[in-house]
Structure 1
C-alpha cells in the first residue's frame, strides 16, 4: 500500500475492526489511497490503520451511512470505491470495477456477494437482502440481486446525488438516486467470506430488521427533484 497522491480512494467504514484491518489494507491496490473512517472504535483500529499507511478520518456520529459519507467527502480522487472493513470482501477486486468506470462502460459498479465458507452470510441477513433487492427492482427497474458494499463510481457524480441517509440505508439510497438520475449500474459476482469479528449491522435478527426498516424508508422516498446526470468524459 502507498500513501502517495492517487486518483482513486477506497472508503473503509470502520468500527472496531482491529483484527481485520491488516488483511484488508494489504489488499488495497498499489497507488490507491485507503481512507479508514473510524466511527468510534475502542480497540485501537485507528492507530493500526495509521501505522499500516492508511489515511484515518474520524466520524463521531455513529452510523454506517455517516461513516461512508464522511469518507466520500474526505476523498479527493476522481474515482471513489467503497468496501467493508471486516475482511468479508477483498478490495483488490475493485480494480476491475474501476476499469469499467474509467472506460465509461458504467457509472456505478456493484459487487454481488457470493458466499464462500460456512457462516459467510447468516440466514437472516440473506433473507433481508433478498427482500430489499426485490423491492429495489420494483422501485427502479434495475435488475440487481444484491446491495453489496463493494462498489465504485466517480466522486463528483456521487456527491451530486445529495445523499442524506446516515444509517444503514445509505448504500440503497445511492443506488436509488443513481437509478433516478439515469446512471448505468452494473453488477458483478464477488466472493463473500466469513467476516472477522461480530457484525455491527446484520449480525442479529434485530440488526437485520433495523437495516430493513432503514432501507424501507429510503425506498418510500419520492424521486429526488432534478436528479443529476453523470458528467461523462468528452471523447
Structure 2
C-alpha cells in the first residue's frame, strides 16, 4: 500500500478507524469521511501516522454534493483514489415492520443504500479516469438473512450486496474491482446499539445470546474486518471482484 490513497466513509467509526490505521501502517495515505466533525477530529488525533498522510472531510453521504466534494477534496489533495472503503452505515431501532415508522425506514435506506450508491457513482467516475481502483463496500451477514425487528437494516444490506455485484460487472472492463465485506457481531458501537435495542438497559443479556449463535464463541474485533479490507484492496486480490467476504466467526456456515 506504499503511496496508495485510501478513501474511507464512516471513517470515525470503529471499523473505519481500525482500517485507516492498518492502511497507514502499510504506507498509505488515508482520507476519513464522516458526518460527525468532532468524531473526525478525534479520529485524526488518535491515528498513528504522519499528519500529512491523513485528511478528514465532513460529509453527509446521502447528499450528492457532499459526495462529489469528498471525492474532489481527495483528488485535489492527493491526486488519485486507489482504494475506496464505502463503509458508512447505521442499524436503526429494533422494531417490527408493523411498528416501524416510514421515516425511520427511509432514513436507514438513505444512509445504507443511497450513500453507498452515491459513493460508487462518483468514485467509479474518478477511477475510470485513472484506469484502475479497488472498491470495498460494507455489507453484513444481514445481506443473506432475515431478522425479526430489523427490517430496515436487513433490506438495506441486501441492497448493498446487489449494488456490489452490479457495480463489479459494470466496472470490470475499466480495471476496477468491486467487492464487499460482510461482518457480523463485531465489537463496535453499532453492536452495542443493537444489543441495547434488543434488551434495553441490559445489553449484556442480548450480548450473551448473540455469542451463543457464533460458532467461534466470541465477538469479532474491528481489526479482523480491516485485515480483509486490506486484502481485497491489494494486488493479492487481483482476480477477485463481485464477491462478498464473510467476517462473522462462522455464522453463515452454521
More helix as a share of residues: 2
- TM-score of the alignment, normalized to the shorter chain, above 0.5: no
TM-score category by the smaller chain?
0.3 to 0.5
TM-score between both structures, scaled by the size of structure 2: 0.37
TM-score between both structures, scaled by the size of structure 1: 0.40
Higher relative contact order (CA 8 A, sep 6+): 1
